[in-house]
């Protein structure tokens, strides 16, 4: 299981990313250093365009650093990382494939052992409450259920690190809360290290073991806030915790202070 891994899961050191075109140069990230221990859940918040998604793409090996370095479980990231999982804002399911076959697409692309992949898919379907919908096509599913399928697909190969880029951003508030609670449970049960980019301050605090607050572009890490809440979290209960309100207010103030710059 992924939870058996220990030590530093993600190590970002002095990372700067500059995008160069013939006409201009844009610095997306500037001198970012961040270490994530195995099993942590890191929420990343910041203004639009501050480089949050770029940071995930660098960890995934999809964008190369201009300067600095990134490693995942001690291995330098020099190209696309096959051992991680990535969940995007859009579920991006194949319309002609049912739930189970969409999940197993990951196995086909990776050449995974078929029996092992099938057993893992069934386990994830049960874990995410998709039992009974194995053959349902994407257009027959709600947005929340489509995101559950995408999450299963991202977790199929038991990645030690899962990157999530605004995966619940397009969902209604109630569905989003339900999936937040679901994700908290999956994280506790799998031990996967998760880095989540979100624009929702409440979501960031509810899910994270710590929250990284980024500045406007060029993105820098402005503040690291530890989340002192139990690992098992219930929305109704967490919302009444004094610590929850204090943290959300502090993050809102930090982000508000950047809007004048």
Domains of the chain: 2-84+160-258 (3.40.50.300), 89-158 (no CATH)
Overall average pLDDT of the 98-123 stretch: 89
Q: How deeply is 50 buried, as exposed, middle or buried, from its count of CB atoms within 10 A (0-12, 13-18, 19+)?
A: buried
Q: How many helices (H) and strands (E) does the chain have?
A: 8, 10
Give, in order, the Cα–Cα distances in Å from 137 to each of 95, 100, 146, 150, 240: 6, 10, 10, 13, 39
Q: How many CA atoms lie within 13 A of 14 on its CB side?
A: 3
**pLDDT (tens digit per residue) in 160-186:** 999 999 888 877 888 888 889 888 988
Q: What is the pTM of this model?
A: 0.88
- Tokens describing residue 84: 């991680």
Strand order in the sheet with 193-197: 85-87, 161-165, 193-197, 41-45, 210-214, 221-226
- Tell whether the model's pLDDT for residue 4 goes beyond 80: no
- pLDDT category at 3 given cuts 50, 70, 90 is very low
């Amino acid at each position: 299981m992924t939870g058996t891994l220990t030590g530093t899961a993600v190590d970002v050191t002095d990372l700067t990313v500059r995008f160069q075109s013939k006409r201009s140069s844009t610095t997306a990230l500037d001198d970012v250093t961040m270490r994530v221990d195995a099993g942590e859940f890191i929420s990343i918040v910041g203004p639009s365009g501050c480089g949050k998604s770029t940071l995930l793409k660098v960890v995934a090996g999809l964008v190369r650093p201009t300067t600095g370095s990134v490693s995942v479980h001690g291995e330098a990231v020099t190209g696309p990382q096959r051992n991680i999982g990535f969940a995007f804002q859009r579920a991006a399911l194949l319309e002609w494939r049912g739930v189970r076959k969409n999940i197993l697409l990951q196995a086909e692309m990776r050449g995974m052992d078929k029996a092992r992949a099938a057993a893992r898919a069934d386990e994830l379907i049960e874990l995410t409450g998709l039992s009974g919908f194995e053959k349902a096509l994407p257009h027959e599913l709600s947005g929340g259920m489509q995101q559950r399928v995408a999450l299963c697909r991202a977790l199929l190969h038991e990645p030690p690190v899962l990157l999530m880029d605004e995966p619940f951003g397009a969902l209604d508030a109630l569905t989003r809360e339900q999936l937040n609670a679901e994700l908290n449970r999956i994280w506790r049960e799998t031990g996967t290290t998760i880095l989540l980019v979100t624009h929702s301050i409440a979501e960031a605090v509810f899910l994270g073991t710590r929250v990284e607050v980024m500045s406007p572009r060029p993105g820098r890490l402005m503040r690291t806030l530890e989340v002192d809440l139990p690992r098992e979290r219930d929305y109704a209960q967490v919302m009444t915790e004094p610590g929850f309100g204090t943290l959300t207010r502090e993050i809102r103030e930090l982000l508000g202070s950047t809007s004048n710059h």
